[in-house]
Structure 1
Amino acid sequence: MELWPWLTAALLGLLLLLRLHRAANFCARIALYCALCLAVSALASLVCLLRHGGRTVENMSIISWFVRGFKYVYGIRFEVRGRPKLEVEQPCVIISNHQSILDMMGLMEVLPRRCVQVAKRELLFLGPVGLVMYLGGVFFINRQRSSTAVSVMADLSERMVRENLKVWIYPEGTRNTNGDLLPFKKGAFYLAIQAQTCSCRPHRRPRCPSLSQVPIIPVVYSSFSSFYDISTKLFTSGTIRVEVLDAVPTSGLTVADVPTLLDTCHQAMRSTFLHISKTPQGDGAAEGSGAQAAQ
């Protein structure tokens, strides 16, 4: 019984350390986030298997329900504008900016029905996290082997039209916390254009009236820097503003139009990001936005 005073004092000391020491608080919150991801992924995987028996996009609604609870643990609020624009009854490519590990919370907050993501292949091997992503229908790309990535995207372009899927992609290709948008990679834009299908010969497809259109819908998240900053070890509660922009049509476009389409989306998203983040405009991410490498 004499141990209780010491244990109580140690616990109070730890809580005080977490409140007063920013780095300790940051590490504790990140550790909790990782633990939550692993535990929730294991539980959600079990529910997905019991509910649907295997890999299907329908599992994403189950995964989304679990992950949306994270915001209550961390005191994160979301202010979403334009959510109905995501509920289109047709295939589309959704693109958004990519900032940190917290993006998963933002993704699940607005995830529309029948929407899958494209993710790097390494995530498939993260134990229960990789399992739940697989069960949710996530498409994994090996970014180190471009031929494999192209094959996966070609398969995805057919499936998204055949199964009426929405596909969510981060066109920056990597996490970015520099207060601006990185140049976009081209994969999402190729996917939207190549997914247009009809029974016409290839050379007639751009003018075919029966062509299945696959628009691009940009989604912009405000900067997390006011409450999450890995460089300064800041991690507190905060508000994330989310803006769903108008769909960008791809009707009649060919692969030759990809650079223009990419630039149009990048400019619209960058302008919105700087506006809702109240971030001074910089020059870094604007340079070279027309010379992106293929995803």
Structure 2
Amino acid sequence: MGALTPSCVSGSCPHRPPNSAFYTLPALLPSRNQAHSPLPGPLQVARMELWPGAWTVLLLLFLLLLFLLPTLWFCSPSAKYFFKMAFYNGWILFLAVLAIPVCAVRGRNVENMKILRLMLLHIKYLYGIRVEVRGAHHFPPSQPYVVVSNHQSSLDLLGMMEVLPGRCVPIAKRELLWAGSAGLACWLAGVIFIDRKRTGDAISVMSEVAQTLLTQDVRVWVFPEGTRNHNGSMLPFKRGAFHLAVQAQVPIVPIVMSSYQDFYCKKERRFTSGRCQVRVLPPVPTEGLTPDDVPALADRVRHSMLTIFREISTDGRGGGDYLKKPGGMGEAPL
């Protein structure tokens, strides 16, 4: 072979055939970076193989849910009930997250209840529930008092926020304090928590509340049934609220919410739009009463509330005709 010329070095040597393997040899040799890069391990290989498949599965699940959710919404009343209740509770927790920083500026203060009320008032529109308030003029204008109301479900919150007077906080079970953001927001708003399992602690708290009513001009909202009642009636009243009013010598303001049975029923998994009437009754004085008068006072207030409950739940402006049905609350004794 002859000597190499500059054209040979540049790759255009006339002495070499154009299709010689000499030209492809450099391409077959690994580069410097390739020669020193480690081979992928078994875990990396598995990830490389499974990652595209995982995304495919997630995409298929998303498309399946996208198809199933509207189908269940329109075809299954039970599914619609669970969706609505899940959104109701989830939305309240989300609103509580927004309210916490605002309420934290004041710290624990009953005035923060105005913030919670303002943020919760719109929920009735989301569910197409019309709340009618009657008798709001019965609230004493400038003195503390104890509000007692019937308790049907978590939807009572809608009626409560609609009629809640100023500087009024509810008394709630202590378990609510641990309900995530909602519990913290309630604590900041001055909600009074009671451990119902410890009677001694509950009595002590109620005694402190009686003093707070008078010294800080606060009103409290109590559900004397003690728990939710889904049977369209009123459970026997517990007497703590009435002992509180008698001890503080402040009036009792009964509030009655009509039956929800026309648009909401937990047993039947039914939740539609509807109308609820909230009736504020004239205040019941407690001046001069003693603890011995509490049983008769509780029975008298329950009787008046039950009468109004029947009236507004059957007149077409409240819960509708449920109480006229066989087995409805209309047959319950006073």
Matched residue type, 1:59: N
In the alignment, is residue 189 of structure 1 matched against residue 263 of structure 2?
A: no
- Asked if 1:46 corresponds to 2:82, the answer is no
Measure how far apart 1:37 and its partner are. 1.3
Counterpart among 260, 277, 281 of residue 224 in structure 1: 260
Letter in 1 for 2:310: L
Cα distance in 1 for residues equivalent to 2:109 and 2:139: 20
- Does 2:142 match 1:89? yes
Which deviations, in whole Å up to 9, do the C-alpha atoms of 1:106-147 show, x marking residues without a partner?
111110000011100010011111101101101110000000
SS of equivalent residue, structure 2 residue 152: coil
- SS of residue matched to 2:278: strand
Q: Could you say which residue in structure 2 is the equivalent of 1:257?
A: 293
Q: Distance in 2 between matches of 1:10 and 1:254?
A: 61
Question: Structure 2: how far apart are the matches of 1:179 and 1:10?
Answer: 36
Given that residues 157 and 195 in structure 1 are in contact (C-alpha distance below 8 angstroms), is that contact kept between their aligned partners in structure 2? Answer: yes
Point out where structure 2 has 5 or more consecutive residues left out of the alignment: 1-57, 315-322
For 1:40 and 1:270, the matched residues in 2 are separated by 34
The 10-residue stretch of structure 1 (18-27 or 274-283) with the greater mean CA deviation from structure 2: 274-283
Question: Where does structure 1 differ by over 6 angstroms across 4 or more consecutive aligned residues?
Answer: 3-9
Which consecutive unaligned segments of at least 5 residues does structure 1 have? 197-213, 287-295
Max Rg structure: 2
Q: Which amino acid aligns with 1:222?
A: S
Q: CA RMSD in A?
A: 2.0
CA positional deviation for 1:36: 0.5
2:115 maps to 62
Change (3 A) 1:13 1:285: same
Hey, what's the Cα distance between the residues in 2 that align with 1:74 and 1:87? Answer: 32
- Give aligned-pair identity as a percent: 46
Whether the 8 Å contact between 2:310 and 2:330 is mirrored in structure 1 is no
TM-score (norm 2): 0.76
Q: Cα distance 1:267–1:46, how it changes in 2: closer, same or farther (>3 A)?
A: same
- The 2-side partners of 1:138 and 1:188 are apart by 15
Give the partner amino acid of 1:25.
K
User: What is the number of residues matched between the two proteins?
Assistant: 266
Alignment partner, residue 19 of structure 1: 74
Q: Which residue of 2 aligns with 1:37?
A: 92
Say if 1:159 and 1:13 are closer, same or farther in 2 by CA, change over 3 A: same
- Once residues 180 and 46 of structure 1 are traced to their aligned partners in structure 2, the CA distance between those partners, rounded to angstroms, is 39
TM-superposed deviation, 1:11? 2.8
Which among 158, 168, 193 is matched to residue 105 of structure 1?
158
* Larger RCO (CA within 8 A; separation ≥ 6): 1
Alignment check: 8 A CA contact 1:180 1:285 kept: no
